[in-house]
């Protein structure tokens, strides 16, 4: 006979599995965002709430990363950008920054085979040169090893600042104009976007932030112009498949109007009619 606790756990596990399947089946595969961007926030508070050091929260956050990468690939998301380390995060205590860099190296090293197997292609955006040499080496290796993959594009934002990205794009364009390679009057959104880190990727349609904070924290300021924003009330280490499915369902219930009226969207009327 099963001990009571085990029986209870089995029932509970079965119950949550069926919720997960119900959620998954409610998602319209024809209306998925191509690109999801996530601000993975709340690791430190999650650990503190458990009487642990902040770094413990970062370690547990890796389990969520693995699950969300796999779930996104499974369901057919084409691009997933994860905000893993901001340019401002360099201002944290040295011990935490060192632990995060070490965790990054170890995680990439451990996961790269799995990424390869799952047809995931890795990319990095941010100030790559500011990362420690060992991180750059490990990342470059993973980028090369997964370069031929054709499934999910996993984009890690590391040492990333959207303002720096925008200022750098302006600088690159100014230099091209100065060298006579480009005319100022030909600078438009397309030219500008070609000079961002994200030139190869479509804009995210859905941006998720965990931990109940309602801010963008210097993340994809240009690219999120028309993204739907979703704020999950859980810390990142608690954000799992079910939470991703809930975010997708919420996204699919929204009407994306892009400046038009609701009537235009519903009747599919062209402009000026």
Separation between Cα atoms, residue 254 and residue 247, nearest integer Å:
11
- Which residue's C-beta sits nearest to ligand IPE? 44
Provide the minimum distance between the beta carbon of 58 and Mg ion in the complex, in angstroms, as a whole number: 11
Residue from 89, 118, 149, 250 carrying the catalytic annotation: 89
In SS3 terms, 17-74 reads as HHHHHHHHHHCCHHHCCCEEEEECCCHHHHHHCCCCCHHHHHHHHHHHHHHHHHHHHH
Give the residue carrying structure tokens 């500008």.
192
Beta carbon nearer to Mg ion, 83 or 251 = 83
Separation between Cα atoms, residue 7 and residue 220, nearest integer Å:
47
41 catalytic, yes or no?
yes
Nearest C-alpha neighbor of 140 from the set 166, 164, 98, 104: 104
Interacting span for ligand IPE (CB under 6 A) from 5-13, 120-128, 211-219, 249-257? 211-219
Interacting span for ligand IPE (CB under 6 A) from 80-88, 114-122, 132-140, 175-183? 80-88
Beta carbon nearer to ligand IPE, 44 or 204 = 44
Interacting span for ligand IPE (CB under 6 A) from 111-119, 147-155, 198-206, 212-220? 212-220
Maximum separation of any 2 CA atoms in the chain, in Å: 82
Q: Environment class of residue 15 by beta-carbon count within 10 Å: exposed (0-12), middle (13-18) or buried (19+)? A: exposed
Provide the minimum distance between the beta carbon of 88 and ligand IPE in the complex, in angstroms, as a whole number: 6
Interacting span for ligand IPE (CB under 6 A) from 77-85, 187-195, 198-206, 259-267? 77-85
Q: Tell me if 217 contacts ligand IPE by CB under 6 A.
A: yes
User: Which one among 41, 60, 165, 205 touches ligand IPE, defined by CB under 6 A?
Assistant: 41
Separation between Cα atoms, residue 170 and residue 228, nearest integer Å:
26
DSSP for 165-191, please give it. Answer: HHHHHHHHHHHHHHTTSS-GGG--HHH
Beta carbon nearer to ligand IPE, 142 or 157 = 157
Q: Tell me if 40 contacts ligand IPE by CB under 6 A.
A: yes
DSSP for 72-95, please give it. Answer: HHHHT-SEEEEEEEEGGGGGS-HH
Evaluate the CA torsion angle 169, 157, 238, 41 in order and state its sign: negative
Q: Tell me if 215 contacts ligand IPE by CB under 6 A.
A: yes
Q: Tell me if 126 contacts ligand IPE by CB under 6 A.
A: no
Residues of this chain, 30-69, that bind Mg ion according to CB under 5 A: 41
Sorted by sequence, the CB contacts under 8 Å of residue 3 that are 6+ apart come out as none
Beta carbon nearer to Mg ion, 41 or 138 = 41
Residues of this chain that bind ligand IPE (CB under 6 A): 39-45, 83-86, 89, 100, 211, 213, 215, 217, 236
Residues of this chain that bind Mg ion (CB under 5 A): 41
Positions annotated as catalytic residues are 41, 89
């Amino acid at each position: 006979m099963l001990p009571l606790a085990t029986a209870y756990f089995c029932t509970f596990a079965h119950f949550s599995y069926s919720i997960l399947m119900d959620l998954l089946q409610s998602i319209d595969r024809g209306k998925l965002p191509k690109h999801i961007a996530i601000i993975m926030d709340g690791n430190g508070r999650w650990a503190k709430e458990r009487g642990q050091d902040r770094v413990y929260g970062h370690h547990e956050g890796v389990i969520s990363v693995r699950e969300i990468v796999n779930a996104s690939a499974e369901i057919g998301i084409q691009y997933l950008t994860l905000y893993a380390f901001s340019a401002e995060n360099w201002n944290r205590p040295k011990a935490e920054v060192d632990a995060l860099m070490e965790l990054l190296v170890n995680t990439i090293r451990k996961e790269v085979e799995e990424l390869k197997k799952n047809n995931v292609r890795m990319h990095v955006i941010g100030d790559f040169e500011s990362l420690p040499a060992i991180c750059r080496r490990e990342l470059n290796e993973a980028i090369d090893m997964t370069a031929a993959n054709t499934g999910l594009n996993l984009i890690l934002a590391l040492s990333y600042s959207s303002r720096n990205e925008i200022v750098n794009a302006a600088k690159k364009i100014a230099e091209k104009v100065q060298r006579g390679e480009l005319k100022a009057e030909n600078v438009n959104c397309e030219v500008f976007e070609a000079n961002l880190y994200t030139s190869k990727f479509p804009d995210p349609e859905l941006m998720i932030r965990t931990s109940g904070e309602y801010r963008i924290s210097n993340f994809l300021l240009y690219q999120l112009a028309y993204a739907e924003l979703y704020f999950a009330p859980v810390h990142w280490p608690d954000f799992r498949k079910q939470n991703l499915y809930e975010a997708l369902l919420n996204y699919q219930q929204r009407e994306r109007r892009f400046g038009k009226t609701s009537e235009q969207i519903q009747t599919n009327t062209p402009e000026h009619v």
